[in-house]
Amino acid sequence: MLATDKVFAGSIPEIYDNVLVPLIFEVYAADMAGRVTEKPVHDVLETAAGSGVVTRALAPLLAADARYVVTDLNPPMLERARARQGDDPRLTWQPADALDLPFPDASFDAICCQFGVMFFPDRIKGYAEARRVLRPGGRFIFNVWDDIGQNAFADVVTRVAATLLPAAPPRFLARTPHGHGNPRLIRTELAQAGYAHVSVEQITATSTAADPAIPAMAYCRGTPMYGELAPHGEAMVQRVVDAATEEIRALYGDGPVSAPISGFVVTAW
C-alpha cells in the first residue's frame, strides 16, 4: 500500500460521500447494521467509519441507552460523518487508529468496520486490537471487497487509466480496496489474531448510476486514486474521467447504467 492510498482529504470526502456512497456502499451498510443488531448490544465501536454510511444505518437500530463510539483515522472523513449524522447523545466521535485503539480491554459488545481493514498497515495487529477491546462473546464484523474483476465499474476505470498512463498505471483500486478479498487468507490472519470462530459470506449486489459519468468521476475523484492521477495534471484527470465514461457507456449503455459489485462480510468471535 502506498502512502497516498490512505489520503482522504481536499474534495475527496465530499465526492466520496455524495457520489460513491450511494453507488456502492449503502447496500453493504444496511447489511452491516442488521448483522450488528441481530444480537443484543449496548456498547458498539465502529472503526474506519469514513463518511458515516454505516453510522447512519446503524444508529437508528440501537437502543435509546446504547453507547456508540465512531472512529476514523482521517479527521476530514470523520467530520463529514459527524456533520451528516446530526446530534445524538448516544454517539461519541473520536479520531483513532484501529491498530492502537485508545480504549480499555473488554469495552465493547460489538465492533464493526466497513471496507476499512484493507487500509490497515498490519491487518493481524488491527484484528488483535479489535479482539482486545471486545468483551467475551463479542463480535467483530467487517467487510472487504472481492477481486476487482468482480466489481465492474472499478475495473473499467482502472483499465482505462492504465491505457492512458502506461508508464505509471494507477493501481489504487486493484491494490488496496480490491486487493484483500481472499477468504482463506482472512481466516488465517484472524486465527493468528486469536479468534476461535470465523464466518465469511460473499454478498453480491448491483451498482447503479443515473449516468455513465457518475462512476467514472466517483472513482477518479472520490477515492485516493485521485492522488495517483493528480500529479499528471488536471487535464489528465479529466481525460481519464471522460475516457472511462465513454467505456462505461459503450459497455452498459447511455442513461442509467448498472453493473455488478461483490464483497465479503466477515464475522469473527
Q: Quote the mean pLDDT of the chain.
A: 94
21: how many CB neighbours lie within 10 A of its CB?
20
> Residue 5: what pLDDT?
44
User: What number is the average pLDDT over the span 23-51?
Assistant: 96
User: What pLDDT sits at residue 17?
Assistant: 83
Per-residue model confidence as pLDDT tens digits over 201-239: 999 999 999 999 999 999 999 999 999 999 999 999 999
pLDDT at 2: 54
3-268 CATH fold: Rossmann fold (3.40.50)
Q: What is the pLDDT of residue 196?
A: 96
Counting residues of the chain whose pLDDT is more than 90, the rounded percentage is 87
pLDDT of residue 8: 54
Confidence bin at 269 (pLDDT 50/70/90): very high
Residue ranges covered by each domain of the chain:
3-268
Rounded to an integer, the average pLDDT of 9-20 is 76
pLDDT number for residue 52: 94
C-alpha span between 251 and 94 (Å, rounded): 43
